[in-house]
A and B are shown apart, each in its own frame.
Chain A
Amino acid sequence: MNDPTINNRINQTLDVIIIGAGFSGLGMAIQLQQANINNIAILERDKEVGGCWRDNQYPGAACDIPSNLYSFSFAPNPNWSRAYSSSHEILNYIKSLVSDFALQRYIRFNTNVNDITFDDNTGLWIIKTDTKKIGSSETLKARSVVIASGPLANCSFPNIPGLEEYKGHKIHSARWDHEVDFSDKKVALVGTGASAVQIIPELVQTAKHLTVFQRTPAWVLPRLDAETPPWISTLFRKIPGTQKLTRQALFALHEVGALGLIWNSPLTSIMQRVALKHLQHQVKDSWMQRQLTPNFRIGCKRVLMSSEYYPALQQPNCKLITWPIAKMSEKGIRCVEGIEHQFDCIVFATGFDIGTQTAPFSVKGVGGRDLGEDWKRGAQAYKSINVSGYPNLFLTFGPNSGPGHNSALVYVESQLHYAVQGIQRILNEGLARLDVRERAQEKYNIQIQKRLTKTNWNSGCKSWYLTKDGFNATMFPGFATQYSAQMRQFEDKDYLRVSV
């Protein structure tokens, strides 16, 4: 529910408007608040905070980076119940950020931003929203905008002919239908990515029969999950330094992983061998092994973590299908081997629309230039956070900020820190525009793209990291430490300043 105070302030010119109340948006508000910038608002299209952790409540949903690392360093939680916590627990953690940092007063729910335009004359962003509740649109003003609308916030259905023809129940993993009783149902699950490997071991236990449709197998590493013994929580509570140390150790461990996952090194071969052994150990049938063996180098696509996935696929009530899908029909899925597989219900664990060539909504910068248009051939930004021609605008999870090996929140924290420095300059110096120079952005991207050519992501496989033309607009080609280092200092020389 909206805090009444936000409705009183919303029509004034705000210092900062944050779009999205997930980890990034809430983290941004916390950081601004700590920098004494309080004339802010968070606009959230949903009726609750939590972002992707609110949306992804499918059975088995959990993080695949240990919770002690997949959480904010400035808000440690000594009570994580497991090494890799469930989505539910993560959502509760996000909710606790709202209460612990008194963020409720900033958040406006049911408010979907559909257009932001920079006013060249006043140096203000004009934000157009449609408000679900009132069913009307409104226009807000702010000096700065932070787009924290999430890298994986919009779910995508696969491009299968006849998708609409299917008359049974369709569920997307990111919009789970908790009302359905699967025990008497023949269920299909399309996709074998990060969400699928979490859902399958759960669904196979509840569904009458489960058929899994795989297009491309991924490399799967075992996930060493365990409950947190109570004494660890006690230790973390009593001596907070121990939790900090644990986090640092986990961070370092994941950084080492970058050597194998990002670049092709001897560690890559070792990791691939471990993944292959994991498969061979858990799956004995040679044909199934073959079906589940990827034909690309580990790291090229997202590496999955699960110790339960392969055993689940071999349950008597589960079947793996690797035939290409020809079309969907009224009763199910027709594959190219000529058989119509019929189901009561189809689960799509088919991921998200990734905005590598589009803006999340209409964004118009100086002189009416359009971000969607500018990004048509692949999104680009300066240090992933600012885009030339779009002053006073900050992005979280902007182009080339994605980690392949470490907690996304480590990257977000660096972005928040950088954005606060920029926003402080705008407010303290009374700037109408703080705009990154085009040349600086260009130089940065030439560097990034050059470094990307040497990574596993660009080694030939098709993945959601790349555009259709093979341009990588998503990943950061380096260690998290390098990313944080580049974000530590606000590069004044790379920015144009115009006073009000």
Chain B
Amino acid sequence: MASIDLEKMRQKIKCTQWALVDFDWESPGADKITAEQWPKLKTFMADLMWIEHVGARGFAALAKSAPTDNLREIYTYFHAEEQRHANAEMALMKRWGMLDENESPVPSANLRLVIEWLERYADDTPFNLLATLIPMLEVTLDGALCKYLLETVEDPLCHEVFAKINDDESRHLGVGFSVMEMQGKGPHYIAFIEMLGRLLDPRMMAGALVYFPLLSSMRDNLIAMGMQEEKLYKTMDKFKKIGGRTAQGRRNPWFQLLHYHGTIMVDRSNHFYHMPVDMLVALSNKIPQRLLPSQPGWVAELTHKPTA
């Protein structure tokens, strides 16, 4: 499959904008959430919304380091669109009585650490790493979460909103995979050595220490909520299939690395990986609230209110 025309894509993105006011948040259907579903769904939505928000920050970093004006503008839009998804998901939570007027979902300790890491280092993260990592998270976590949500929630408004979100996501993935392929250009060994150099950066190592447990705990949360493990494998396969659809795509060493990591992350039987990561999860959950870093300014921009 040939890469998409990014110039046309930018125009398309501009023409397909939507806003929270396009929906009637008071429309009937909110009561379709069962009492049994409610507490799990609340945790689930909070996780989902935070992933979107963290993704938004990733796009903001990409908008800074993108190699062309066109990509820079596309990522600027994607940054805002991910924020829109987080806002819309908060609006759904509000509709379902999961949030008070001025309340935001509380991020877990793991999330707080990832947020702090992003605040400090996101803008210094190599473009190639972020440009591969974000599509992977979008296909696997985001994709799996949304699919699961639509299978279990009957509120029609939820379906309407996610139809829009999914349209956006498909454009994000279109661009994401195209950019991943672009990174496969040039000699393989140089890209590989460059990647190794980047991975030895202590900031990246610190990133792995907060990112691995987050991913793991999200995976476990999903399974605990009743999602079949099978589905996670499938989404991982999807990432592998699309990311590796061309020889150039397969030559991107970041793709190879992240795919490899994703595969062992979903497979709980790999104790060699999961044991230390589980320990990190347990450890981060023990950090007292007061020791967790305060939230950065970009988090304060979240809102469930369609108008301001």
Interface of A with B (CB < 8 Å)? 285-288, 290, 295, 323-324, 326-327, 329, 331-332, 334-342, 462
Contacts and interface: CB of A to CB of B under 8 A. Distances in A.
A286 B303 contact: no
B308 A341 contact: yes
Contacts of A323: 80, 83
Contacts of A334: 17, 19, 21
Interface string B9-37: 00000100111110000000000000000
B297 interface: yes
Given A339-B19, A342-B307, 5 more contacts: A326-B14, A326-B17, A327-B17, A340-B21, A340-B307
Given A285-B297, A287-B297, A339 B303 contact: yes
B84 interface: yes
B123 A290 contact: yes
Interface string B43-80: 00000000000000000000010000100000011001
Contacts of A341: 307-308
Contacts of A295: 64
A339 B307 contact: yes
A54 B88 CA distance: 47
Contact of A340 (B19, B80, B81, B83): B19
Interface string B131-157: 000000000000000000000000000
A338 B21 CA distance: 8
B77 A336 contact: yes
A335 B83 CA distance: 11
5 contacts: A332-B307, A338-B18, A338-B306, A340-B306, A340-B307
Contacts of B87: 337-339
Q: How big is the B interface, by class?
A: 20 to 34
B301 interface: yes
A341 B307 CA distance: 6
Interface in B253-304: 296-298, 301, 303
Given A324-B77, A324-B80, A462-B69, A338 B19 contact: yes
Contacts of A340: 19-21, 306-308
Nearest to B307: A340
A342 B80 contact: no
A329 B306 CA distance: 13
A130 B239 CA distance: 66
A337 B21 contact: no
Top 8 nearest A-B pairs (CB, nearest first) are: A287-B297, A338-B84, A336-B80, A326-B17, A337-B83, A323-B80, A337-B80, A287-B298
A345 to B, nearest CB: 16
Contacts of B21: 329, 334, 340
B305 interface: yes
